[in-house]
Chain A
Amino acid sequence: MKDLRISSTRIKYVLPALAALAVLSALLSLCLGAAALPPGEVLAALLGRGGGTAAQIVLYARLPRTCGCLLAGAALAAAGTVIQGVLENPLAAPNVIGVNAGAGLCTAVCAALWPARAAAVPLAAFLGALGGVLLVLGIGYRTGASRMTLVLAGVAVSGMFGAGIDAVLSFFPDALNGYADFRVGGVANLSMSRVAPAFWVILPAFLLALSLAGEMDVLLLGDETARSLGLPARRLRLVLLALAAALAGAAVSFAGLLGFVGLIAPHMARRLAGEDSSARLLLTSALGGAALVTLCDILARTLFAPYELPVGVVLSLLGGPFFLWLLLRQRRGRRRKRA
C-alpha cells in the first residue's frame, strides 16, 4: 500500500524514461545479433546511406524484427491493461482469458486456407480474439463472474483453441511456415509485409482506447457508480474489450502466441505510474511492453549465440514465475481479509 503514494515528480519522468528505454532497446536490437554491427553503420543503413551486407542485414532482417518486437509488446501490454481494468481482474490478460488463443486459431486457419492473403490475417486474428473474449465473458456472466471463474474459463477456452491450432497444423503442416515458433511466440524471420497490416490495426485501436481512457477511469469505480454518472457501463465494456481484442489479435497475427507481456507489463506500469489516470497507465504499459519484448528478444538472440531462442521462451521463463507470485499474493491477501 505504501507504493500508492507516488510522488508526482517521479511520475513525470516515467514516460520519458520508458520512451528512452524503448528507443535504446530498439537501437540495441538493431546492432546486436549473429553479426554485431556498429551503431554508426546501423544509423547509416536506416537513413538509406549505407551499403553492402550491413545495410541488407539491418533493413531486411533486423528492422522488421525490431519493429515486430516493439509493436507486439506495446499492443499486448495495452490489451492487457484494458482487459485487467475492464474485468477488474489483475489475473486477466490476453493470453489468460483466451484472446491470444482465439486469435492464434484464426491466424492458423487463415494462413492454411488463404496462404497468399497476408493482409487479411490481422483481421481474422481480430475476429478470433473477439470470439475468445466474448466466449469467456459469456461464461463468466453465466456463472456469476468471480475472478477465478473467469481465469479458469479462459484456461479451458485457451486449451480448446490450442487444440484447434494443432488440428489445423496436422492437416496443413505448412500453414504457419512463415512463422517462427508460433505456439510460444517468436519474431525471427519477420518481414515488413507481415508487420505492416498489423500496424494499421494496432495504431487506430490504441488511439481509440487512449481516447476512451476517461470512460475507463469511471468504469473502474464500479458499475453502479459508473452508471449513476451517466456511463453506459455494459456497452463501454464491450467496446473496450473489442479494442483489446483488436490489439492482441493483431500482435498474434505476426508474432504468434506471445504470452505474459499482457500480464506483466500492466502490473509494472501500475507500480510505476499509479492508477490515477488510465491514459497514463495505457501509455506507460505500452512503452514498457515494447521495451520488455525488445529486450527479451535481444536476450533470446545473444544468450546462446549462434543459437537463438524464440522470444516467447524468454518471456515465459520470466513471466511464469511472476504470474505464480501474483497468484500467491492474491491468495494471501484474501486469507488475511477473511481473518
Chain B
Amino acid sequence: MLEVRRLAAGYPGRRVLEDVTLALRPGRVLVLLGPNGCGKSTLLRTMPGLLSPLGGEVLLDGRPLGDYSPRQIARKTAYLPQSRTAPSITARRMVLHGRFPHLSYPRRCRREDYEAADRALELAGALDLADRPLPELSGGQRQKVYLAMALAQEAETLLMDEPTAYLDIRCQLETLALARRLAAEGRAAALVLHDLCLALAMADDIAVLGGGRLLALDGPEEIYRSKILERVMGVRLGRFAGPGGWRYFCELPEEG
C-alpha cells in the first residue's frame, strides 16, 4: 500500500503542496480533484518517487520509499504520465516495455512477459491494436495502449494523471470502468480527473486539493454534502436520482 504522511511536495524553490496525508487502499479508487495548478499532478508524481518530497514521507508497504530501488518501486506502482509520447513502435512492443521492471539485465523478454503483455492488452480492450504502430493510432487508442502498458507492469497501485484527457466520452467511460474493474481485483488506483460529475459517480474516495493543501478526503456522498467542491471549483453542483444511482450535474452559480 502506498501512503503519504504530512507530505510537502513541489519543485526546488517552489512548494506546491503542504501537509498532505492520504493512503491508497487496495480495492479502492481514489480520485484527486481540484482547480488547475493545485498540485494534483505534483502529488501523483511524488508518490512513486519521480519527484523528491520536500517534507514529510512517502511510505510503500509501511517502509520509506527511499528504502526501495527505482525498479522495486516500479514493480509495486505503475504511473501513467500526463504527457505521452508516441514512438514509432508497435502497440505490443510498447506494452512489453511495461514488463521492464520485472526483467533483469540484459532484459530479454520471457514467454511469461509476452503473455502478461497480451493479457494487459486484452484487459485494456486493445488486443486488436497489438500489431499497429503507435503513431497511426488515434488518441483514444493510444491511451488504451498506455493503460495496457501500466497494466502489464502488474503493480498493486496504479497512478493515472488525467487518463481521460483528450478522449471522447465513450473512451472516457471505458477508461473509468477499467479503473473500477482493477479495484475490484484488489488493486489500488489513484486518478486525477477534471470531470466532477464522473468523479462523484465512480470514485470510492475523493481528495479535494486547493490552495496548496488537502482540503477534504472522504467518500463522494460526504464530499457532495459538504459543498467543498462548489467552493473550491466555483461552480454549483446538483444531482437527481437516476436508475441505479445518483446523476450529478454541474453549472455556473447564479449571479448575486
Residues of A whose CB lies within 8 Å of any CB of B are 1, 4-5, 211-215, 217-218, 220-222, 224-225, 227-232, 270, 274-277
Chain A hits for B170, CB < 8 A = none
Contact in complex: B89, A231 (CB < 8 Å) = no
Chain A hits for B75, CB < 8 A = 230
| B132 and chain A: residue at smallest CB distance | A5
Chain A hits for B101, CB < 8 A = 229-230
Contact in complex: B50, A224 (CB < 8 Å) = yes
The answer, yes or no, to whether B81 is at the interface (CB within 8 Å) is: yes
Chain A hits for B138, CB < 8 A = none
Known: A220-B87, A275-B88. A4 touches B133 (CB 8 A): yes
Contact in complex: B107, A230 (CB < 8 Å) = no
> Which of the candidate stretches B3-11, B66-74, B177-185 sits at the interface with the other chain?
B66-74
Contact in complex: B93, A229 (CB < 8 Å) = no
> With A and B bound together, what is the CA distance between A213 and B74 in angstroms?
19
Contact in complex: B133, A218 (CB < 8 Å) = no
Q: Nearest 8 pairs between A and B by C-beta?
A: A214-B107, A230-B74, A230-B71, A228-B79, A4-B133, A230-B70, A230-B101, A224-B81
> With A and B bound together, what is the CA distance between A270 and B88 in angstroms?
10
**Besides the known contacts A229-B74, A274-B88, 20 further A-B residue pairs in the complex with CB atoms under 8 A apart:** A1-B136, A4-B88, A212-B106, A214-B100, A214-B106, A218-B97, A218-B100, A220-B87, A220-B89, A221-B94, A222-B85, A224-B45, A224-B50, A230-B71, A230-B100, A230-B101, A231-B70, A275-B87, A276-B93, A277-B93
The answer, yes or no, to whether B14 is at the interface (CB within 8 Å) is: no
**A211, A224, A228 interface centre (most CB from chain B within 10 Å):** A228
Contact in complex: B135, A4 (CB < 8 Å) = yes
Chain B hits for A215, CB < 8 A = 107
> Per-position contact with A for B33-48: 1 when CB-CB < 8 Å, else 0?
0000000000001001
Chain A hits for B132, CB < 8 A = 5
Contact in complex: A221, B106 (CB < 8 Å) = no
> With A and B bound together, what is the CA distance between A270 and B133 in angstroms?
14
Known: A5-B133, A229-B100. A221 touches B70 (CB 8 A): no
Contact in complex: A228, B81 (CB < 8 Å) = yes
The answer, yes or no, to whether B164 is at the interface (CB within 8 Å) is: no
Contact in complex: B73, A230 (CB < 8 Å) = yes
Chain B hits for A274, CB < 8 A = 88-89
Chain B hits for A232, CB < 8 A = 70
> With A and B bound together, what is the CA distance between A303 and B45 in angstroms?
60
Cβ of A156 to closest chain B Cβ, rounded Å: 29
Chain A hits for B74, CB < 8 A = 228-230
> With A and B bound together, what is the CA distance between A221 and B78 in angstroms?
15
> With A and B bound together, what is the CA distance between A277 and B81 in angstroms?
23
Chain A hits for B106, CB < 8 A = 211-214
Chain B hits for A5, CB < 8 A = 132-133, 136
> With A and B bound together, what is the CA distance between A118 and B72 in angstroms?
46
> With A and B bound together, what is the CA distance between A4 and B91 in angstroms?
12
The answer, yes or no, to whether B240 is at the interface (CB within 8 Å) is: no
> With A and B bound together, what is the CA distance between A276 and B72 in angstroms?
26
> With A and B bound together, what is the CA distance between A222 and B50 in angstroms?
13
